[in-house]
Amino acid sequence: MRLHRTPSFALAATLALGLAGAVLVAPAGAGAPAKKPGGPTTGSASVFMVNPVQSSGNQMLTDQKDVAAAVLPSDYATVPLRNLDGSGYLRGQWARVESATGRPAYSTTGEYFYNRQQDQFEQVMGYFWVNQAQEYLQSLGFGVPRSGLKGIVDEPFSVKINQYGGDNSYQTDKPYRIRLGKGGVDDAEDAEVIVHEYGHAVHADQVPGYGSSLDAGSIGEAFGDYLAVTVGLDAADDYDWPVSAEEACPMDWDSTSYTAAPHCIRRFDRNLTVESRRSQVHYDGQIWSQALWEIRQDYVALGESTEAWDTTLIASQFNYAPDTSFGAAAEATYDLAMTRDGAAAAERVKARFAARGITF
């Protein structure tokens, strides 16, 4: 386990006031000449523990026009920023914060301590959580030599923060990049928004042209939600962070702007089936994500790990067609579960999809 702790109250209070001393901000026009000293390849930063609703359990939190005081210091944690390229900017092996509202975060000491009111906080969140998601894929074996599992998004992934005023994060697959908007709660203040968008890049990398049918698009939304939740729970476990909201709840914080409490953008327990679909990818995705979530519980009940399920699920996605149907994708998942995890696991996969009206 990697050991990290939430900052001391004194340090956290300093962060909340925006007075962190060691932070340098690049001068105007930065990024051009390289005569400045760089920074270390592992830094240190303040981030949300997935998001402040999930860590605190406080469903009454609201954005309050981005003021620092809307979120308590205890909902920030100090974390390592790994795999930086040493430039002093938030650029590294797996993530690259390309442009942003506000000056690019820059530090010669590797310290990137900001609060949510500062534009650089979202830059840090983007870097940290994309790196974290990639490290999670690698922890499952993807891209690890001799694992038999190909690397996924095996390149620095571009993160553009606050490019649009609306609440409209989206991912475009060539080149791999996400744009994180500023509507309501700033999108990059919620790790589950960042990792959801990264999930689209995972599919696009695994299957070129992925998402060209309604079912494929719905699976894309479902997997993004699922990946966001599983990466966040894995991080909470690694760093000993509290999980004080429902586990099966994506985007607890971003969705405070547009949902009633308990705040979740979508749910994994709506009991939707293919018969109740609305032919809308986000809505219909909840058919698929419920199956993914329930299979996860079944794996645990069978004595398998959630990581075993995540590995099987993600590896099976290499076998999807770009315009897959629910049924074909479920069959690909079933086949790989049989190979990797055995008949009992595979039967649970089949049953959970069947309960959603997905058969093959």
Contact set with Ca ion (CB under 5 A): 54, 66, 116, 167, 183-187, 249, 252, 254
Q: Which does 207 bind (CB under 5 to 8 A by kind): Zn ion, Ca ion, none?
A: none
Cβ proximity to Zn ion: between 117 and 289 the closer is 289
CA 222 to chain centre: 13
Cβ at position 221, least distance to Zn ion in Å: 5
Stretch that binds Zn ion, among 16-24, 156-164, 222-230, 296-304 (CB under 5 A): 222-230
In the complex with Ca ion, which residue's Cβ is closer, 33 or 165? 165
> CB of residue 233 vs Ca ion: minimum separation in angstroms?
8
In sequence order, what are the residues at sequence separation of 6 or more whose Cβ sits closer than 8 angstroms to the Cβ of residue 211? 200, 203, 204, 217, 220, 322
Q: Pull the structure tokens for residue 211.
A: 């998402």
Specify burial of residue 122 (Cβ count, 10 A radius: 0-12, 13-18, 19+): buried
Contact 225, 250 (CB under 8 A): yes
* Among Zn ion, Ca ion, none, partner that 92 touches (CB below 5 to 8 angstroms by kind): none
Which among Zn ion, Ca ion, none contacts residue 323 (Cβ within 5 to 8 A by kind)?
none
Please identify, among the stretches 118-126, 183-191, 224-232, 253-261, the one whose residues bind Zn ion according to the rule CB under 5 A: 224-232
Give the amino acid at 301: A
Instruction: Judge if the upstream peptide bond of residue 7 is cis by omega within 30 degrees of 0.
Output: no
Q: Choosing among Ca ion, Zn ion, none, which partner's interface includes residue 45 (Cβ < 5 to 8 Å by kind)?
A: none
DSSP class of residue 92 equals B
249 binds, among Ca ion, Zn ion, none (CB under 5 to 8 A by kind): Ca ion
Binding residues for Zn ion, rule CB under 5 A, total 2
Shortest distance, position 284 Cβ to Zn ion, whole Å: 12
Instruction: Identify residues 182-221 at the interface with Zn ion (CB under 5 A).
Output: 221
| Nearer Cβ to Ca ion (150/237) | 237
- Return the one option of Zn ion, Ca ion, none that residue 167 interacts with (CB less than 5 to 8 A, by type): Ca ion
Distance of CA 264 to the CA centre of its chain: 15
CB of 116 to Ca ion, least distance (A): 4
Judge contact between 312 and 337, C-beta under 8 A.
Answer: yes
Residue 71: CB minimum distance to Ca ion, A? 9
Helical ranges in 85-213 per DSSP H:
119-139, 191-206
DSSP per position, 249-287: -TTTTGGGGTSPSS--SS-S-S---GGG--S-HHHHHHH
Shortest spacing between CB 86 and Ca ion, in angstroms? 27
- Site of interaction with Zn ion (CB under 5 A): 221, 224
